[in-house]
Amino acid sequence: MRRLAFLLAFLAVPPAGASTATRASLAELVRESQWIVLGTTGESTSYWQDGRILTRVSIAVEEVWVGELTDTTVDVVTLGGTIGEIGQRVDGALRFGTGQRVVLCLQRHAGVLRVVEMAQGAFILEEGANPRVFRKGFGMRLVDNSMGPPTARFPESLRDLELAVREIKRAP
Amino acid sequence: MHRSIFSSGTFALCFAALALTLITTDANAWVCSRVITGTNLETGPSLSWFHRDLTYAFHAAGTGDLAGTNEEAVIGASFATWVGISGCQPPNNSTDITFTPLAARVDRDLVGFDFLDPAANENLIIFRDKDWPHSDRIIALTTTTYSAQTGEIFDGDIEFNSEEFTFADLDGCCPNCNGNTRDDPDPECRFTDLANTAVHEIGHILGLGHPDEWGELDPSCAKGSTMCATAKLGDIDKRSLACDDRDGVVFKYPAATANQYAEQPSCALELEGCGNCTGQTCSDWSGYGFCASPMPLVNDVKITETGSDDGSGCAASPVATTVPLLLLVLCSLLLWRRRSHAPPN
């Protein structure tokens, strides 16, 4: 059995460590959010602003989990994009495909809506009978706070995520 | 007579599996950042500088985090980490990429690109001791501007969030700190190592991406690759490059040689055709380059697309790691089966 354990140990290579950010828990994301919505991405437009390329993406809102929204469509602005022959990449900034269902943690900043903590605040849906959610780094490097409490795993199903978000929001 | 559970056949299988595991985890996993195409997927050519003598400039404001202008020395050493290095894999080429700081600091706070006056752009290093414009948890942010057609990098800027984080040179510092965090109860431990962050961000300026995604298991990350997607706060290991990082930059920018790309990435490797990994035909890639492993192309180390929109270029195929792992599983099962059928002592 010791040999078996020895061999299985080889299967469990421990993980180790572009924009660089400290890892946020779900509770921290919820606390930083003014709105959390489930929606579908629509048209996007990129534009210049003081040397930066920004991309405005319209989101058709299906459900509002946190905050109050009267509009059924909101525009979210992300860093980076392409205008003509010039592209700009900001690691960690979200890049949406059209028609993608997402859960977004949103906050208003400098007059526009942005996703909280860039890639950390977006959950992409994998459609199915029980839709699942996952996150992507889009080039963001996450740094663990070694002194803090362990970060709990994020819910993997859409409805579990909704329940967790609402529970965090209800908590005092 | 008690039959050994470790028969010669099982032993050979296990030995082969272990050997393959050790060999293939040395396969390169570094990836190149790529042009983001109209579909918002990273399917374009890889991002590369088309010249090797790069310069950078400090913003005049500096930072109060380090005494005097000490940030210049730390950042300079971080750039130097990528200069004059050799790869670990044969033929152990070197790179001739260089970084030179401009003599004078610049007053202009331009992160991004001035397309009206391209010559006025600098690769800017800027500390934002106040008015950090991005999310609070971002420690540093790299913005790269490039040609969407060729992937040529025009400009790369790094912003450091010195409003929310206190940067320091932690080499030899704070032996009593259990890692440094901004939330540490001990004020002497509330620092973020500047070089550890800077070396990683400079890798992005060179066009390297992350070999892994959040939560993924990449062998190069187990070996401490600077370009991996996760790290520990207070970590200073990423100041120095791992073999995977060195091989990546040496492959992209080999000394006295044009930038390298993998041409005809799939077809040449007898995979199942370009259509299966990129959605494009082989002819679509002619004239474009994108990065791939510099490893010799042997049967069990193939090159394939690692994902459509995950920031990757090409990397060692999952085949390279899954085959030996499957062998290990098989080997383990055999051992378990033999053990369970062995006569009792």
Calpha distance B26→B316 (Å, rounded): 10
| CB proximity B47 to A under 8 Å | yes
Report yes or no on A47 lying in a domain.
yes
CATH fold label, B45-252: Collagenase (Catalytic Domain) (3.40.390)
Reading the block at residue A144, the tokens are: 């663990």
Please, which residues 109-148 of chain B have a Cβ atom closer than 8 Å to chain A?
110-115, 133-148
Report yes or no on A116 lying in a domain.
yes
Calpha distance A87→B38 (Å, rounded): 10
Distances (CA, A) of B320 to A16, B28, B104, B216, B316: 20, 10, 49, 16, 7
Candidates A11, A86, A88; nearest CB to B143: A88
Q: What is the pLDDT of residue B280?
A: 42
Q: Which helix (H) or strand (E) holds B21?
A: helix B8-24
ipTM of the complex: 0.83
Nearest CA in chain A to B203: A18
Report yes or no on A3 lying in a domain.
no
| CB proximity B163 to A under 8 Å | no
Q: Which of A53, A89, A144 to mutate to test the interface with B (most CBs of B within 10 A)?
A: A89
Q: Count CA atoms within 13 Å of residue B27 on its CB side.
A: 27
Which candidate, B265, B183, B298, places its Cα nearest to that of A22? B183
| CB proximity A131 to B under 8 Å | no
Three-class secondary structure assignment of B133-165: CCCCCEEEEEEEEEECCCCEEEEEEEEECCCCC
Q: What is the pLDDT of residue B306?
A: 31
Candidates A7, A95, A114; nearest CB to B36: A95
Calpha distance B149→A160 (Å, rounded): 42
The count of domains in chain A is 1
Residue range B31-46: mean pLDDT, rounded: 77
What global pTM score does this model have?
Answer: 0.76
Residue with tokens 């030179």: B100
The count of other CB atoms within 10 Å of the CB of residue B222 is 17
Which candidate, B19, B8, B23, places its Cα nearest to that of B320? B23
Taking the CA of residue A112 and the nearest CA in chain B, the distance in Å comes to: 12
Q: What is the pLDDT of residue B320?
A: 36
Residues comprising chain A, all counted: 172
User: Using one digit for the tens of pLDDT, what is the confidence trace for B229-272?
Assistant: 777 767 788 889 998 889 889 888 999 998 887 544 433 333 33
Provide the residue-wise pLDDT of chain A in tens; the chain has 172 residues.
Answer: 444 443 333 333 222 225 788 888 899 999 999 999 999 999 999 999 999 999 999 999 999 999 999 999 999 999 999 999 999 999 888 888 899 999 999 999 999 999 999 989 999 998 888 889 988 878 787 777 654 445 567 898 999 999 999 999 998 7
Using a CB-CB distance cutoff of 8 angstroms, which residues of chain A are in contact with residue B332?
4, 7-8
Report yes or no on A87 lying in a domain.
yes
* Contact assignment for A16 to B228 by CB distance below 8 Å: yes
Report yes or no on A2 lying in a domain.
no
Q: What is the pLDDT of residue B336?
A: 57
Q: What is the pLDDT of residue A21?
A: 82
**What is the average pLDDT score of chain B?**
72
Report yes or no on A4 lying in a domain.
no
* Contact assignment for B111 to A146 by CB distance below 8 Å: no
Q: What is the pLDDT of residue B21?
A: 42
Which candidate, B43, B229, B31, places its Cα nearest to that of A143? B229
Report yes or no on A125 lying in a domain.
yes
What is the residue range of A53's domain? 18-170
Residues forming beta bridges with residue A104, ordered by sequence position? A37, A122
pLDDT surpasses 70 at B152: yes
CATH code for position A72: 2.40.50
Q: Which of B174, B214, B332 to mutate to test the interface with A (most CBs of A within 10 A)?
A: B214
| CB proximity A3 to B under 8 Å | yes
B101 neighbors B122 (Cβ within 8 angstroms): no
